[in-house]
């Protein structure tokens, strides 16, 4: 089960659960109140009990003078903890450690995402489950470290903990959370990136998770359901779900800026991220023996902000990004209905017919559609993403999601976001016919509707309330007993994200 940028280093897997907030306004709006003091203390205590770690952007350019630790000691003596509430990360500069490391090109980041989700009806069973994700990343800027311009080294790791609501209680194909997967501590990414030609071209080589750069949507990142991150079609059709969170694969990615508005990405990766070690719980299976995956994407951006300007604040028009791409895997893929003698699999139970290669074509659109004042955060954006794949060798032949997101829905809440979205999965006709041949409940399609509200408590702490209703759960079939149907599910929950 899988969870899930056109510029700069790849974000953390919690990019899809992160805030859409505008950091330029954050320090002005946070108010120290007794309610927030109590809430933040609770969050800090919870984070400590769960190993409270996570992914946050380090600040290597911060100046080392007047470390925050000294300011906070003074604040503690006077009973004023304002510095804790207004800074971008909970631990701040850690007594000057972050800016000191930054002088040598070293940045580190830590986040903890935790959530409690519960199924109120339908599915496999009712009940709740806690799950969490700790992400740690260290990066090295080679120019600051030893004078090599344009180089960036990245290593990141994951600690995944808790239970999996979707497999335990739901049985849905549109799984409820983008962070739920097998509990483990693992290496995630390990790569080196080098830019050329005044940063118009860059090459990344090493262990990579392609959901950080390919098939991404800015607006869909707000939502909790897995398929708004790494979509359903590659999740079910690529071997092992593809090199996407929590997996990665060895490969090379090239990115080039063709024009100021047009960017091209292309990558070559190992065809199966688990390869000859299906367990691969620790992410150290550096495999190159299971075929090859090729992926390419064109990105066209309009009305983008100038350098140094906040995303969404360009005054020449409403910003948008449009993408089209294709991936191809040269491995072997089993037919969904026929065996290698041409007979029906449902009747013979034999060896499936093998097909050479698999592919998918996809398109993604993010577009702001309303912004009454370009100097304010309030805006509405929409997104759509659709992809298709051959029927004969894939479980999912069509997948799509679309939604709307409003930024700053209430006065004074510029960092909050509210959204409503749909995600759709169509089972391939071949797989549906196999169900009929086998006497199973035939699978058709599954649709999930999600409503969510993200509340920025402090610059480093986000709370998110979420509700999801799944229609025709399991595409109509109970995964534990294919001869039975599955009732629609209704999930509610809360997620918290702390940046250390």
C-alpha to C-alpha distance for 280 and 158, rounded to whole angstroms: 13
pLDDT at 24 over 90: no
pLDDT in tens, 80-125: 445 899 999 999 999 999 999 999 999 999 999 999 999 999 999 9
* Total count of domains within the chain: 1
* Domain-embedded: residue 5: no
Tell me the C-alpha distance between 336 and 345, whole Å: 8
Distance of CA 70 to the CA centre of its chain: 36
Q: What average pLDDT score do residues 447-457 get? A: 98
How many whole angstroms separate alpha carbon 374 and alpha carbon 372?
A: 7
What distance in Å separates the CA atoms of residue 228 and residue 403, rounded to the nearest whole number? 10
Find the CATH number of the domain harbouring 178. 2.40.160.180
Pairing of strands 106-121, 489-499: antiparallel
Statement: the pTM of the whole predicted model exceeds 0.75: yes
The reply to whether 69 falls in a domain is no
Contact 473, 487 (CB under 8 A): yes
pLDDT at 67 over 70: no
**Rounded to whole angstroms, how far apart are CA atoms 385 and 233?**
11
pLDDT at 38 over 90: no
Torsion of CA 371, 372, 376, 378, to 10 degrees: -60
Q: What is the pLDDT of residue 430?
A: 97
User: Residue 80 domain-assigned?
Assistant: no
Residue 284, classified by CB atoms within 10 Å of its CB into exposed (0-12), middle (13-18) or buried (19+), is exposed
Res 36 pLDDT > 50: no
Cis peptide leading into residue 246 (ω within 30°): yes
Tell which wins on pLDDT, 311 or 389.
Answer: 389
Q: Flag whether 88 is in a domain.
A: no
- Residue 248 maps to a domain: yes
CB 498 within 8 A of CB 90: yes
Least confident residue range of 35-44, 193-202, 215-224, 382-391 = 35-44
φ, ψ at 56 (rounded to 5°): -140, 145
pLDDT at residue number 212: 97
Tell me the three-class secondary structure of the chain, residue by residue.
CCCCCCCCCCCCHHHHCCCCCCHHHHHHHCCCCHHHHHHHHHHHHHHHHCCCCCCCCCCCCCCCCCCHHHHHHHHHHHCCCHHHHHCCCCCCCCCCHHHHHHCCCEEEEEEEEEEEEEEEECCCCCEEEEEEEEEEEEEEEHHHHHCCCCEEEEEEEEEEEECCHHHHHHCCCCCCCCCCCCCEEEEEEEEEEEEECCCCEEEEEEEECHHHCCCCCCHHHHCCCHHHCCCHHHHHHCHHHCCCCCCCEEEEEEEEECCCCEEEEEEEEECCCCCCCCCCCCCCCCCCCCCEEEEEEEEEEECCCCCCCCCCCCCCCCCEEEEEEEEEEEEEEEEEEEECCCCEHHHHCCCEEEEEEEEEEEEEEEEEEECCCCCCCCEEEEEEEEEECCCCCCCEEEEEEEEEEEECCCCCCCCCEEEEEEEEEEECHHHHHHHHHHCCCCCCEEEEEEEEEEEEEECCEEEEEEEEEEECHHHHCECCECCCCCCCEEEEEEEEEEEC
Integer Cα distance of 65 and 324 in angstroms: 47
pLDDT tens track for 130-162 = 999 999 999 999 999 999 999 999 999 999 999
Structure tokens at 35: 């309610």
Judged against a pLDDT cut of 80, whether residue 15 lies above it is answered with no
The answer to whether residue 419 sits within a structural domain is yes
pLDDT digits 0-9 by tens, 324-345 = 999 999 999 999 999 999 999 9
pLDDT at 351 over 70: yes
What percentage of the chain carries pLDDT values higher than 90? Answer: 76
What's the confidence (pLDDT) of residue 310? 59
User: What pLDDT is attached to residue 311?
Assistant: 53
Task: Tell me the C-alpha distance between 18 and 221, whole Å.
Answer: 7
What is the predicted pLDDT for the residue at 52? Answer: 36
As beta bridge partners, residue 134 has 112, 159
pLDDT tens column, 262-311: 999 999 999 999 877 777 788 888 888 889 999 999 999 999 887 656 55
| Residue % of the chain over a pLDDT of 70 | 81
Q: How many whole angstroms separate alpha carbon 9 and alpha carbon 153?
A: 9
pLDDT tens across 186-196, in order? 999 999 999 99
Q: Give the Cα separation of 173 and 443 in Å (integer).
A: 11
Q: What is the mean pLDDT of the chain?
A: 86
Q: How far apart are CA 237 and CA 244, in angstroms?
A: 13
Which residue in 451, 453, 468, 464 sits closest to 498, CA to CA? 464
Q: What is the pLDDT of residue 289?
A: 82
Rounded to an integer, the average pLDDT of 26-37 is: 37
Give the model's pLDDT for residue 65: 37
Binned at pLDDT 50, 70 and 90, residue 56 comes out as very low
In angstroms, the Cα distances linking 81 to 56, 88, 309, 413, 449 are 21, 14, 30, 22, 41
Q: Is the pLDDT of residue 40 over 60?
A: no
Buried-exposed string 436-446: b where 16+ CB fall within 10 A, e elsewhere: ebbebbbbebb
Q: How many Cβ atoms are within 10 Å of 86's Cβ, its own excluded? A: 18
Q: Is residue 131 part of a domain?
A: yes
In this structure, of 61-75, 149-163, 331-345, 415-429, the range with the lowest mean pLDDT score is 61-75
- CA-to-CA dists, residue 158 to 110, 198, 253, 267, 281, angstroms: 10, 33, 22, 24, 11
pLDDT, greater one: 170 or 37: 170
Q: Residue 170 falls within a domain, yes or no?
A: yes
Domain span holding position 469: 13-60+105-499
Residues written for the chain: 500
pLDDT at 139: 98
Over the range 272-282, which residues count as b (16 or more CB within 10 Å of their CB) and which as e? bbbbeeeebee
**What is the pLDDT at residue 313?**
52
């Amino acid at each position: 089960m899988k969870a899930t940028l056109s510029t700069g280093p790849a974000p953390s897997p919690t990019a899809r659960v992160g805030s859409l907030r505008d950091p330029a306004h954050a320090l002005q709006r946070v108010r120290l109140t007794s309610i927030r003091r109590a809430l933040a203390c609770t969050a800090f205590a919870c984070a400590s009990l769960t190993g409270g770690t996570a992914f946050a952007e380090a600040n290597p350019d911060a100046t080392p003078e007047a470390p925050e630790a000294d300011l906070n000691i003074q604040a503690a003596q006077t009973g004023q903890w304002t510095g804790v509430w207004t800074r971008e990360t909970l631990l701040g500069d850690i007594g000057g450690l972050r800016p000191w490391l930054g002088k040598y090109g070293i940045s580190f980041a830590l986040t903890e995402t935790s959530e409690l989700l519960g199924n109120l009806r339908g599915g496999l069973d009712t009940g709740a489950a806690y799950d969490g994700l700790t992400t740690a990343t260290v990066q090295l800027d080679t120019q600051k470290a030893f004078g090599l311009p344009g180089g960036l080294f990245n290593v990141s790791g994951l600690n995944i903990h808790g239970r999996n609501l979707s497999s335990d209680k739901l049985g849905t194909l549109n799984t409820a959370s983008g962070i739920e997967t097998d509990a483990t501590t693992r290496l995630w990414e390990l790569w080196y990136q080098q830019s050329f030609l005044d940063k118009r071209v860059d090459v990344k080589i090493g262990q990579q998770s392609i959901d950080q750069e390919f098939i991404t949507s800015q607006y869909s990142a707000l939502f909790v359901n897995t398929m708004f991150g790494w979509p359903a079609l590659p999740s079910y059709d690529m071997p092992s779900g593809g090199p996407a969170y929590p997996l990665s694969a060895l490969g090379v990615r090239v990115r080039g800026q063709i024009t100021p508005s047009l960017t091209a990405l292309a990558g070559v990766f190992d065809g199966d991220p688990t390869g000859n070690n299906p367990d691969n719980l620790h992410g150290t299976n550096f495999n190159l023996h299971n075929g090859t995956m090729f992926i390419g994407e064109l990105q066209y951006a309009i009305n983008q902000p100038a350098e140094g300007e906040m995303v969404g604040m360009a005054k020449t028009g409403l910003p948008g990004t449009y993408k089209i791409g294709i991936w191809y895997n040269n491995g072997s893929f089993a037919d969904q209905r026929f065996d290698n003698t041409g007979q029906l699999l449902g009747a013979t139970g034999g060896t499936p017919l093998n097909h050479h290669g698999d592919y998918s074509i996809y398109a993604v659109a993010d577009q702001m559609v309303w912004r009454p004042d370009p100097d304010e955060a309030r805006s509405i954006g929409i997104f759509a993403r659709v992809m298709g794949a051959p029927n004969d060798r894939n479980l999912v032949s069509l997948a799509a999601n679309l939604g709307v997101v409003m930024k700053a829905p209430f006065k004074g809440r510029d960092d909050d976001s509210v959204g409503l979205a749909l995600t759709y999965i169509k089972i391939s006709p071949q797989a549906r016919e196999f169900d009929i041949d086998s006497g199973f409940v035939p699978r058709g399609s599954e649709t999930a509707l999600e409503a969510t509200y993200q509340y920025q408590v402090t610059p480093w702490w986000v709370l998110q309330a979420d509700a999801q209703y799944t229609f025709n759960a399991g595409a109509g079939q109970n995964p534990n007993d294919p001869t039975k149907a599955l009732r629609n599910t209704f999930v509610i929950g809360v997620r918290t994200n702390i940046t250390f």
